[in-house]
Amino acid sequence: RGLATDRVSSGSAYGTGGVLTLAASELVGGTYGVYATGGTALDASDTVIRGTTNHGVYLYTTGAVSATLAHLTVVDAAGSGSHVAPQSGSPVVDVTNCILTGNGNYGVYRSAGTTTVSFTDAWDNAFGNLQGVTQGAGVFAATPLYVAPADVELTSRSPARYAGDDGLDIGARPYLGAPTPTLQGWLWEDLALPAGLHSVVGDLVVPPGSTLTLAPGATLAAAASDGMATGDDTGRVEID
């Protein structure tokens, strides 16, 4: 779907030269989601990469090639979400409006060239979220609150909503109406809680313009750990 590449094999897109363009696609499994080698310039957008047995995006290029990664969601790769380790040369890579979570190495890794990351959620990546990159504005680490592990559409209280450089949702699958089923995340709409006990399972943030109202007799009970794994203390629930 929306795929223009040299070739596609086992859920992977390979580029061996020229320009590798990837748009509005979903790549599941395979060794890599995107593998660019030689003098390949990469332009990847609005694409989900999930469950690869190595890196989600791997740049093993030569020369001063450019790569743009925009509105990607890269999850559960065995390697890094984005791995820039050129064979030679100094690639220039821009990562913007992306979500990279739960990958087995880094969220975004660079060994040479220049990689700039901005307006991106990199969270829960095993070796670290960012390594060797230049961090721009709008970078954060929090669970994106997907619909499900295999469905990376954002839910109503996702911190990835309105987090882009244009004020819109980041990642490849924006919020389309699915509710966040638990009490955690960002309250983008007003919330009124009736009397009774309400379990807060992760950080609860009330942004400017939104209101959290507790009816008489309503009680908030914080879980023992922070399901959002973000904020000042990633191990404790915070209400802000």
Q: Taking 80 as the threshold, does the pLDDT of residue 4 lie above it?
A: no
Question: What is the Cα 191 distance to its own chain's centre?
Answer: 26
Per-residue pLDDT, averaged over 22-40, amounts to 93
Asked if pLDDT for residue 8 goes beyond 60, the answer is: no
User: What is the distance between the alpha carbons of residues 33 and 230, in angstroms, rounded to a whole number?
Assistant: 28
How far apart (Å, rounded) are the C-alpha atoms in residues 229 and 69? 25
Q: Please report the sign of the dihedral spanned by the C-alpha atoms of residue 123, residue 94, residue 48, residue 32.
A: negative
Does an H or E element contain 35, and which? strand 34-38
pLDDT digits (tens, 9 = 90+) for 222-231: 999 999 999 9
Q: What is the mean pLDDT of the chain?
A: 94
User: Around Cβ 24, how many Cβ atoms within 10 Å?
Assistant: 13
Confidence label for 12 from pLDDT (cuts 50, 70 and 90)? confident
Whether the per-residue pLDDT at 235 is higher than 80: the answer is: yes
Mean pLDDT, to the nearest integer, of 154-159? Answer: 98
- Can you give the C-alpha Rg of the chain in angstroms? 19
What pTM did the predictor assign? 0.93
Overall size of the chain counted in residues: 240
How does DSSP classify residue 63? S
pLDDT at residue 11 in the model:
61
Residue 71 has pLDDT above 80, yes or no: yes
Q: Give the C-alpha separation, 158 to 178, whole Å.
A: 10
Question: Burial code of 142-181, b = ≥16 C-beta within 10 A, e = fewer?
Answer: bbbbbbeeeebbbbbbbbbbebbeeeebbbbbbbeebebe
